[in-house]
């Protein structure tokens, strides 16, 4: 197949059966109506092309995964792969994360991933792990829900650690250089996103935090 352009991806993704666009009518119904099972749901925030959503779904068939991003042309790649490979525990939802509680019900989500978010050097209010965003995620989480952050940015990693300390959150795993870590979990080493590959090629160290929301 030839290269698919950005506009064609935007158009195509709206017709994919595993993609939803700002769908508040699905609030509270992801397990019953979309996945048709009672398995826990992991959300990948700002999923880009969806490498983590897909990679985790392939490794954990007894969980459901939803990739969220505002850019439909990026979601297109993961969604198409899932359709072609019949990965049924995956869906994608195009929306702005700042309104996430309009699209999921209280207690609906068990775990979150954020991979290589925009570092937002000047704008703390836009950082996806700031206190305001954490409250939005809590509004749709089960008690004890887990957050995973994988980032190249020292500033974003340190900022997130400050929020964790301020809020006295329990840290389950913390590494400032995951590839130097002896017991690195397989899914952390072997699923690499578009941005992670770029930063690794640039010689950046990859940081990881896993903590209770
Ligand atoms: C640097 S890219 C990382 C993408 C992917 N996680 C990766 O590692 O390749 C950041 C992504 O966040 C998305 N994004 C940023 N802010 C967002 C928001 N408020 N709501 C939804 N998506 C957002 C962008 O569209 C973009 O795809």
More confident residue, 109 or 7: 109
Look up the pTM and report it.
0.96
For residue 161, pLDDT over 90 is answered with yes
Q: What are 178-205's pLDDT values in tens digits? A: 999 999 999 999 999 999 999 999 999 9
More confident residue, 199 or 12: 199
Residue 152 CA to ligand 1 center (angstroms) comes to 14
Region 136-154: mean pLDDT is: 97
Element (H, E) at 186: helix 186-190
Cβ-based neighbours of 139, under 8 Å, separated by 6 or more:
101, 106
Among 21, 50, 70, 200, say which to mutate for ligand 1: greatest number of ligand atoms within 8 Å of CB: 70
| Residues 114, 150: Cα–Cα separation, whole Å | 6
Cβ-based neighbours of 144, under 8 Å, separated by 6 or more:
212, 213
pLDDT band at 212 (very low <50, low <70, confident <90, very high): very high
Superfamily designation of domain 6-212: Vaccinia Virus protein VP39 (3.40.50.150)
pLDDT band at 119 (very low <50, low <70, confident <90, very high): confident
Q: Which residues line ligand 1 (CB under 6 A)?
A: 46-48, 69-71, 74, 96-98, 115-118, 193-196
| Residues 35, 77: Cα–Cα separation, whole Å | 20
Instruction: Look at 5-19, 92-106, 148-162 and tell me which has the smallest mean pLDDT.
Output: 5-19
Element (H, E) at 211: strand 207-212
- Nearest CA to 117 among 149, 95, 79? 149
Q: What is the mean pLDDT of the chain?
A: 95
pLDDT band at 120 (very low <50, low <70, confident <90, very high): confident
> Cα angle at 124 between 120 and 130, to 5 degrees?
110
Which one of 118, 152, 177, 202 is the catalytic residue?
118
| pLDDT cut 70: percent of the chain above it | 99
Region 58-78: mean pLDDT is: 96
Q: Which atom in ligand 1 lies closest to the alpha carbon of residue 196?
A: 8
Domain ranges across the chain:
6-212
pLDDT band at 5 (very low <50, low <70, confident <90, very high): confident
Residue 69 CA to ligand 1 center (angstroms) comes to 6
Beta strands in 70-182 (DSSP E): 90-94, 109-115, 141-151, 171-175
Instruction: Look at 16-20, 54-58, 107-111 and tell me which has the smallest mean pLDDT.
Output: 16-20
Residue 16 CA to ligand 1 center (angstroms) comes to 20
Dihedral sign for Cα atoms in the order 71, 150, 154, 189: negative
């Amino acid at each position: 197949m030839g290269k698919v352009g950005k506009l064609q991806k935007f158009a195509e993704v709206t017709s994919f059966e595993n993609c939803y666009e700002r769908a508040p009518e699905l609030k509270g119904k992801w397990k019953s109506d979309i996945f048709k099972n009672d398995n826990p749901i992991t959300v990948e925030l700002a999923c880009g092309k969806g490498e983590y959503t897909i990679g985790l779904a392939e490794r954990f068939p007894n969980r459901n995964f939803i990739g969220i991003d505002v850019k439909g042309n990026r979601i297109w790649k993961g969604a198409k792969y899932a359709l072609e490979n019949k990965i049924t525990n995956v869906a994608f939802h195009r929306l702005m994360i700042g309104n996430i509680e309009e699209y999921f019900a209280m207690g609906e989500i068990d775990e979150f991933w954020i991979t290589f978010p925009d570092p937002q050097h000047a704008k703390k209010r836009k950082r996806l792990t700031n206190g305001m965003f954490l409250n939005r995620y809590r509004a749709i989480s089960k008690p004890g829900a887990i957050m995973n952050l994988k980032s190249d940015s020292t500033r974003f990693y340190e900022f997130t650690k400050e929020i964790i300390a301020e809020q006295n959150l329990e840290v389950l795993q913390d590494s400032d250089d995951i590839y130097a870590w002896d017991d690195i979990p397989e899914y952390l080493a072997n699923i690499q996103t578009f941005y992670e590959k770029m930063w690794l090629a640039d010689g950046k160290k990859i940081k990881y935090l896993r903590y209770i929301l």
